[in-house]
Structure 1
Amino acid sequence: MGCVGSSNAFATNGYFMHGYGIKAQGQAGVSIAQPQDALAAANNPAGMAWIGNRFDVGATLFNPDREAEIEGNPVPGANGHYHGNNRKYFLLPEFGFSKQLSDRLGVGIAVYGNGGMNTDYKKNPYGAYGSTGSTGVDLAQVFVTPSVAYKFTNRQSFGIGLNLVGQRFAAKGLGGFAPFSSDSGSFNDRNHDVSFGVGVRLGWQGQVTDKLTLGVTWASKAKMSKLDRYAGLFANGGSFDVPENYGAGLAYRITPAFTLSADVQQIKYGHVRSVGNAFDIQSLFAGNTFGSKNGQGFGWRDVTVYKVGASYAVNSRLTLRGGFSHVDQPVRKDQTFLNILAPGVVQDHLSLGLTWSPRPSNELSLAYTHALEDSVKGHNSIPQAFGGGEANVRMNQDMVSAAYAWKF
């Protein structure tokens, strides 16, 4: 798994990718009712009954811009602007294989990244509080999803996929927070640690009319083994599970060449303790230290993602795509101080894409996504124990993706 998931920047919808498969990315991630390639199982495994025999391989290049500001803090050296872009570019590969075993039964496997998070501040925003050296975090998650889908009528299918997950994490430059940890020796500067887990994804797809297709999908929380090297950082002794998520979508074929589609997705960040628990000084002094069962976290909320997309087949060789998506803000205004490490604050994304088929058995797909700049200005965000004042975080992002497919 490690060869697929290189260190990743924030992948637009918190630390989830905005879409899996380059075709889906070209229309802002819309995919639940519109399977288009062998990465379909990552979006809705029911789609694997409809896409035929193919092999897709692709990659996405990320260029994020992460920035933070501390203001109104009396601690000498704390106030200022901080740039978390010591590393600027990130490559995220993916591939998928699908095979029709019969007219009704399809199987496949998809390998892809769930995005991730990465910050690297050469100038340490927490340096005034006793932290030394550069600071940042590095999280990468890789999914391997074998799946099977069955058409139980001529217009409906059900699919199931097994999410086999591997993740890698490292944190550095956080020594100023170590006194507030249940295990200060497993808190910071421990290089990378890895953990593994498993979950399940279910899906249904149905062609309601000749023009309208609907889909629904659900993925369980993936219970991960603990990151032991960071047992003093993450709540419950290094636990960092993949949150439950689910969604519904539709695709409406206005003409044989033109399709409008939309998805709604819910991601339950707030139900993972290490992500959803707030950084709260009263809770901290009450015994909920970093690493404890109900320890400190990033205070992220559950989010809903709204996506709309369109695809137009210009001719038998060329298809054009576009889309827009919006996600709720996961980062609360009173939680920006610790989220200098995790400024996943972008909300709006514009995408363009195309597929060119030089011959019936091959496809080249391209996509570009721009995550519009967004920021969260802190409000009561820095505890008085750290001097008070506010922490503000900002991000924008560009992504360029390409994939090639062989159909057989």
Structure 2
Amino acid sequence: MKQRGIQIALLLAGLVPSSWATNGYFANGYSVKSEGIAGIGIALPQDTLAIAANPAGLTSIGNRLDVGANLFTPKRSASISGNGAGLNGQYDGNATRDFVIPELGYSQQLTPELVAGVALYGNGGMNTDYQRNPFAAVGGKGSAGVELSQLFVSPAIAWKLNETQSLGLALNLAYQTFTAKGLDGFAGFSSSAANLDSNRRDSSTGVGLRLGWSGKLSEQLTLGATWSSRIRMSKFDDYRGLFADQGSFDIPENYGVGLSYQLTPSVLLAGEYQRIRFSQVGSIANSVDSLFSGKQLGSNQGPGFGWQDINVYRLGISYTLNDNWTLRGGYSHSDQAVPASQTLFNILAPGVVQNHATVGLSWKVSKDSELSAAYVHGFKQTVHGQGSIPNALGGGEADISLSENLFGLAWGWKF
């Protein structure tokens, strides 16, 4: 099963030029329906992509197939001022602008108590593409940028313990790719300069677990909880001169709780909390400051992007207009992953958006099928550097900004 899942992931990854940055670099929601209600899914299973949020939710899905796609358009930029080494300027990271991200899910009722399914989805990612290299003055050649994509294939099973309680288990078969360019100026700081910015697409794989629980406390109130393990990925050998610990780039642990409340027959309210533990992964969390005190890129416990753990909060509402139409809306807020002191290196990875507003709808095309759509806006966020450029590179400050728009469309079929 693992081998077949990885093969499917490779095929799908070939269709995905990049994933997206929302909460840090994790996606804010894992299906078009979820995206329309602020990314909520832990206690609100709406389709087979519930596997990605809480596999216990499959017990309320039954036999179903979901196919969807998202058009994602981020806007990335940076500015450097007060620098004595020639880095000053405004930089546009949008030479590559639009990304299509597919999603796919299937579930099958095996017995009245047991459901199996599988979901394919983007866990997250990051892309920047600067035609004007922000690091040209210190030796960066050509354009600069990075591209990280993470794809999960998640076979799952869920048990209905009784009329109110369910448990779920999913395997996260993870496949990620990475490429970097234009970082020649940091070759003298790398433990393997030939594997710093090869501009080659490298890949790595790993396996993790997601566990989930769902409980119906009353006719109106449902609670849910989910936990996803840290995934220890194989190393990016082509970038062992960039990422700490010779190319290590694991996927961090995350967990959350949620609730949904049927306020009236037509109105449902939902909310959830999620924590993402970026601090577990050295290549993400280690401070770049050690780079300028003798610690080389790619070395054991070497410099990283300096990201912090974050909390994510989501609130949403669903309104059943009639038998054929359902409307959704929501808002999410997250902590800031990128400290103000770490903005220089994060010109490459400005995952700084904190606030998302969402709307969505579903139209019942027939008794067994429906179309869903969603729009997500990530409000522009700027992190202003504070002590972000060391004197060794001329001092001054780097500011980084990101905003996002996402349009999603999906079809679901019950059988």
TM-score by length of 2: 0.96
1:238-260 superposed Cα distances (whole Å, 9 cap, x missing partner): 00001100000000000122100
Match of 1:47 among 46, 53, 57: 57
Residue 139 of structure 1 aligns with which residue?
A: 148
Which residues in structure 2 correspond to 1:338-357 (within 5 Å)?
A: 338-357=345-364
SS in 2 for 1:4: helix
Match of 1:315 among 316, 322, 331: 322
Residue 12 of structure 1 aligns with which residue?
A: 22
Residue 154 of structure 1 aligns with which residue?
A: 163
SS in 1 for 2:246: helix
1:144-176 superposed Cα distances (whole Å, 9 cap, x missing partner): 000000011111100000000000000000000
SS in 2 for 1:119: strand
1:285 shift after superposition: 5.1
1:60 counterpart = 2:80: no
- Aligned-pair identity in percent equals 52
1:11 shift after superposition: 2.8
1:239-287 superposed Cα distances (whole Å, 9 cap, x missing partner): 000110000000000012210000100001111100000101xx23554
1:10 shift after superposition: 3.3
1:385 shift after superposition: 0.6
1:130 counterpart = 2:142: no
Residues 4 and 94, structure 1, Cα contact 8 Å, conserved in 2:
no
SS in 2 for 1:136: strand
Residue 167 of structure 1 aligns with which residue?
A: 176
SS in 1 for 2:56: helix
Give, in whole Å, the separation in 2 of the partners of 1:275 and 1:84. Answer: 20
1:34 counterpart = 2:44: yes
SS in 1 for 2:168: strand
Give, in whole Å, the separation in 1 of the partners of 2:291 and 2:73. Answer: 35
Q: How many residues align?
A: 405
Give, in whole Å, the separation in 2 of the partners of 1:56 and 1:185. Answer: 44
Residues 198 and 238, structure 2, Cα contact 8 Å, conserved in 1:
no
Residue 81 of structure 2 aligns with which residue?
A: 71
1:190 shift after superposition: 3.9
1:104 shift after superposition: 1.1
Residue 324 of structure 1 aligns with which residue?
A: 331
Residue 5 of structure 2 aligns with which residue?
A: none
- The aligned amino acid for 2:113 is R
Residues 4 and 113, structure 1, Cα contact 8 Å, conserved in 2:
no
Residues 19 and 101, structure 2, Cα contact 8 Å, conserved in 1:
no
Residue 3 of structure 2 aligns with which residue?
A: none
- The aligned amino acid for 1:215 is G
SS in 2 for 1:120: strand
Residues 349 and 371, structure 1, Cα contact 8 Å, conserved in 2:
yes
Match of 1:196 among 205, 209, 223: 205
Residues 62 and 399, structure 1, Cα contact 8 Å, conserved in 2:
yes
1:229 counterpart = 2:238: yes
SS in 2 for 1:3: helix
- The aligned amino acid for 1:132 is K
SS in 1 for 2:130: coil
- The aligned amino acid for 2:219 is D
Residues 4 and 92, structure 1, Cα contact 8 Å, conserved in 2:
no
Match of 1:257 among 266, 270, 284: 266
TM-score by length of 1: 0.98
Structure 1 runs of 4+ aligned residues shifted over 3 Å read none
Match of 1:276 among 282, 285, 301: 285
Residues 190 and 229, structure 1, Cα contact 8 Å, conserved in 2:
no
Residue 403 of structure 2 aligns with which residue?
A: 396
- The aligned amino acid for 2:190 is S
1:84 counterpart = 2:89: no
Residues 208 and 229, structure 2, Cα contact 8 Å, conserved in 1:
yes
Residues 121 and 153, structure 2, Cα contact 8 Å, conserved in 1:
yes
Unaligned segments of structure 1, at least 5 residues = none
1:7 shift after superposition: 2.5
Give, in whole Å, the separation in 2 of the partners of 1:41 and 1:9. Answer: 19
Residue 10 of structure 2 aligns with which residue?
A: 2
1:293 counterpart = 2:300: yes
Residues 356 and 364, structure 1, Cα contact 8 Å, conserved in 2:
yes
Give, in whole Å, the separation in 2 of the partners of 1:360 and 1:216. Answer: 31
